[in-house]
Amino acid sequence: MSLPTFSIITCTWNSEPWLAQSIASVLRQQDVDIDYIFVDGGSDDGTLERIRALDRPYTLIENVRGGISRAMNAGIEAARGDIIAHLHSDDFYLRHDVLQTVAREFSARGCRWLFGRTMRCIDGRLVPEGYVAPRYSRRQLLHRNFIPHPATFVTRELMWRAGGFDARYKYAMDYDLWLRLSGIADPVQLDLPLTAFREHEGSLSTRERSAAMLEDLQVRMAHTGLHPVRCLSHLLRYLVRRHRARVQASGGRHA
C-alpha cells in the first residue's frame, strides 16, 4: 500500500528558542516522505541560521508579512505533498511514528481530513489537555472549537477547495477553516495525542485570550447564518466563557 506524502509547514518569527525541538520531531518521523516548508516573517534572532543549517531538503519562504494567516497560506501555495499539516515553531510531534500513523489512517479510511489530540508543554513538562473532546459533529463544532491545529491534517485538494485561511482573522482563522472544511467533508477523529503545544507567555492564545474568545464568537455567528435562536445561544455561551475566564485570571473560583 502506497502511503501519502506530507507537506509540513512551519511558520517562524524569532522562534529560535523553540525551533530546534520542533525540527527534531519532524526529522525523526519514520517511513514517510516529507516536503518541509518554513515560512518566516522577518526573524533576526538566529531562526534563519538554524533553518539553513538543516542537512536535508527544505523550502524557506522569507519576509512574509501581514500576519500568521498569510504566512500559512504562503506555505500552502508552496506545498507539494498529498497531505498538509501546520506545525508551528513552538509545537512538536510526540513520537517518531506520528506521520506514519496518520498516513495509514488516510489510506485505510479514504478520508480527506483528520485530527487527533495534543498535549500541553509547560516549562518542559507534558501535561494532558485537561478535558475530554466531544465526538465530532458540525453542530458540536459550532458550539466550540475542539480541533487542535497542530494535530490536524488536510489533503491538499481539500485545502485548496476550502480556500485556505481567511487573513481577516488574527486568532480564529483555524476555527473558521475547520467549519468551512466541515461543510465539504467530515473528518476522521483520533483520540490519540499526536503533538505537543508549548504554552508560554509569548503565545497568542496565552497573551490575548479575551480577544481570541471574541473572534471565536464572530466566526460562530458567521457560520450560523441568520438563525436568531442559535445566534442568541452562541452569544450566551460566549458571555459565560468570558466570565469564567475572567474569574480564573483574577484567581477566583466559580461554580
109: CATH? 3.90.550.10
- Tell me, yes or no, whether 1 lies in a domain: no
Residue-level pLDDT at 22: 97
Model confidence over 228-240: pLDDT tens digits? 666 666 566 666 5
Give the pTM: 0.88
CB 38 within 8 A of CB 59: yes
In the predicted model, is pLDDT for residue 207 greater than 90? no
Other C-beta atoms within 10 Å of 59: how many? 15
Instruction: With cut-offs at 50, 70 and 90, classify the pLDDT of residue 246.
Output: low
Pick from 114, 95, 86: nearest CA to 194: 95
- Tell whether 215 is covered by a domain: no
247 in a domain, yes or no? no
Domain that holds residue 16: 6-204
pLDDT, tens digit (0-9, with 9 covering 90-100), for 40-51:
999 999 999 999
* 50 assigned to some structural domain: yes
Residue pointed to by grid coordinates 485530527: 115
What would the pLDDT profile of 132-187 be if each residue is shown by its tens digit? 999 999 999 998 999 999 999 999 999 999 999 999 999 999 999 999 999 999 99
- For residue 136, give the C-alpha cell: 465530532
pLDDT at position 240: 56
Cα torsion through 94, 98, 186, 217, rounded to 10: 20
Distance of alpha carbon 211 from alpha carbon 218, whole angstroms: 11
pLDDT for residue 211: 87
Helix ranges (DSSP H) in the chain: 16-27, 47-52, 68-78, 98-109, 138-143, 156-162, 173-182, 204-207, 209-224, 228-249
d(CA 68, CA 41): 9
Q: Are 85 and 98 in contact (CB under 8 A)?
A: no
Q: Is 111 a member of any domain? A: yes
Domain count across the chain: 1
pLDDT tens per residue across span 94-133: 999 999 999 999 999 999 999 999 999 999 999 999 889 9
Q: What angle do CA 40, 198, 71 make, to 5 degrees?
A: 20
Q: What is the pLDDT of residue 239?
A: 62
Q: Judge whether 213 lies within some domain.
A: no
38 in a domain, yes or no? Answer: yes
Note whether residue 236 is domain-resident: no
- What is the structure's pLDDT at 227? 64
